[in-house]
Amino acid sequence: MNHKLTIIVGLGNPGPNYSLSRHNMGFGTIEYLSEKYGIKTGRIAFKGRYGRGEIEGKPVVLLKPSTYMNNSGESVRAVLKWYSATPDQLIVLYDDMDLEPGMVRIRPKGSAGAHNGMKSVIYHLQTDEFTRIRIGIGRPEERIPVIDYVLQRIPDHVMPDLKAGMETAGEAVACILKSDVAAAMNLYNSKKKE
């Protein structure tokens, strides 16, 4: 993975209405990486917005699909096809309700769980064997429907934890590129950023 192009995709929904929602943790992490490594993501292709650059000296593509969450796989499939890349060159970033805010989980493969964006990616790639980084958003209180919870604007008091989670996910991406998935799992799967 280290010498080849790595394609880093953050899942989310396009447009200002969604930009500060829990469902956009993937987009937020791409924005963090974009800023930190000076990779502009203004180009339009692959049903998304993307940019090329380097992280830890390794060539990368950062991509935010514009398809809306449920069709994210169309964008992921298009970018892999264009660069003749295989799923082992892919890292997908997305939100997860089963993790508390601020936590991240890195896995080299696995099911989509209940996440529609990941279901779409797995469906379009016809494999679940690609690296993913899940960013914790916690669960809603009983009375709040899940769809409202993930799409509503993040309350100010929760924002610091979610921001820390996106930064940790970004650091995990850099660690994967610098060494490998196992190293990143060891480093980031257990702890919450202080």
23 part of the active site:
yes
Tokens of 62: 């950062």
Q: Is 137 helix (H, G, I), strand (E, B) or coil?
A: coil
Distance separating alpha carbons of residues 166 and 30, to the nearest angstrom: 9
Q: Could you tell me the sign of the dihedral formed by the alpha carbons of 69, 51, 108, 87, in that order?
A: positive
Q: Kindly tell me the burial class for residue 110, based on how many C-beta atoms sit within 10 Å of its own C-beta (0-12, 13-18, 19 or more).
A: middle
The catalytic residue among 23, 115, 124, 157 is 23
Q: Is 167 helix (H, G, I), strand (E, B) or coil?
A: helix
Distance separating alpha carbons of residues 145 and 92, to the nearest angstrom: 25
Go through 53-77 and write b for each residue having 16 or more CB atoms within 10 A of its CB, e for each that does not.
bebeebebbbbbbbbebebbbbbbb
**Could you list the active site residues?**
23
